[in-house]
Structure 1
Amino acid sequence: MAELKSSGGSLRGRNQSRNVSLSPRVDMTPMVDLMFLLITFFMLTTTLSKPVAMPLAMPVNPESEPNTRVPEDRTMTIYIGKENKLHWLVGNSAKPLESSSNDGFQRNTIRNTLRAKNIEAIKRTGDSSKGLIVIIKPSDKSNYKNLVDLLDELNISQIKSYYIVDLVPGDTEIMKKARVY
């Protein structure tokens, strides 16, 4: 509430031409109460951001499903190496059908490659559910950020089948030849 304080005494007997100044005083208690009510209301009605998890497909046990052979032209292996470098190959690692090295995470480099290879695989099979299968092999010199970035690129490229596997002894030689290890 607003209050006006007046100076004490009456104005009789004094000079009537003199202005009397009244000092206003505003009581802030109701505004503080309202502020706390609003803060409490918004805190209770706000929804916090929920963590979003991306589904991750892990390989099945070969003994449980022995007939899981995939054509080599649908398989792409991506090696994650040091200093944000990638090496990918299509087909068997001993005799690749196609390969490239020192591809990094530059703007749209790996994304364009993934999209093109996925479109090629879908055209060859004639079935949109049988696209590219990506095998990701991070090395001990790679960092976690690169793996997450690559998973994001796979998600953007709409590749549904991908696996994260450990390196086998022959993979380090392939990475050393490509100068990514």
Structure 2
Amino acid sequence: MKNLPQKVRSRKLNSRVDLTAMVSVSFLLIIFFMVVGELSKPKAMNIDFPDKDCDDCLPTYVEENLSLTILLDKNNRIISYSGIIPVPSNTSKNIEYGKNGIRKELLKRNKIALEYSAKQGKPGRGIVVMIKPSRNSNYGNLIEILDELKIAKINTYNIDPEFTSEESKLLASN
């Protein structure tokens, strides 16, 4: 017999692809987008205002030992006073931001208010702060004051953009 040429068979190679790296990359992408989605959510603080038609919700008189009014003005200026403006219990003063400025004043006034309320038989009642940002103040100043209130552990405050004529004169004079 003759030698017949043998049929050459092609050998099939293993076509298996290793997807380990692809799985790792896809998990990293999923984690990345989850974190970015969480960080990009807007952060806001809820502020509750009383109803305008509610007679029981109107603010009551707060003793001047328990109140402090903070006026925010342009150029990062803060003016504070206690009591009502025609007869403030202490003269108004310009205060700086930071731990040696407004924070020190808030801590001192809150300590006085806590001592005063304890003598009156209402322990634990701290200072009530009225924050009045002017049209010339910026949003960052308001946030800084709210941060200082949180640091000083003052929970009772009010944000009121309405100025009395006496307060407007006080801002103009300082």
Shift of 1:171: 1.2
Q: Give the structure with higher Rg (CA).
A: 1
In structure 2, the residue matched to 1:70 is 62
Alignment of 1:20-169 (within 5 A): 30-43=19-32, 48-49=38-39, 52-58=43-49, 61=52, 64-65=55-56, 68-126=60-118, 127-165=122-160, 166-169=162-165
Q: Which amino acid aligns with 2:60?
A: T
User: SS at the partner of 2:170?
Assistant: helix
1:101-139 per-position Cα deviation (integer Å, ceiling 9, x unaligned): 221214441011101101110101113442100111111
Quick one: distance in 2 between partners of 1:67 and 1:89? 19
C-alpha contact (below 8 Å) 1:74/1:133 kept by paired residues: yes
Q: How many residues align?
A: 152
Quick one: distance in 1 between partners of 2:134 and 2:154? 22
Higher strand share: 1
**Aligned-pair RMSD on alpha carbons?**
2.9
TM-score by length of 1: 0.70
Q: Which amino acid aligns with 1:87?
A: I
Quick one: distance in 2 between partners of 1:63 and 1:33? 62
Unaligned runs of 5+ in 1: 1-26
Quick one: distance in 2 between partners of 1:60 and 1:99? 34
Quick one: distance in 2 between partners of 1:62 and 1:72? 27
Q: Which amino acid aligns with 1:64?
A: D
Shift of 1:140: 1.4
Quick one: distance in 1 between partners of 2:53 and 2:85? 19
Quick one: distance in 2 between partners of 1:60 and 1:96? 29
TM-score by length of 2: 0.73
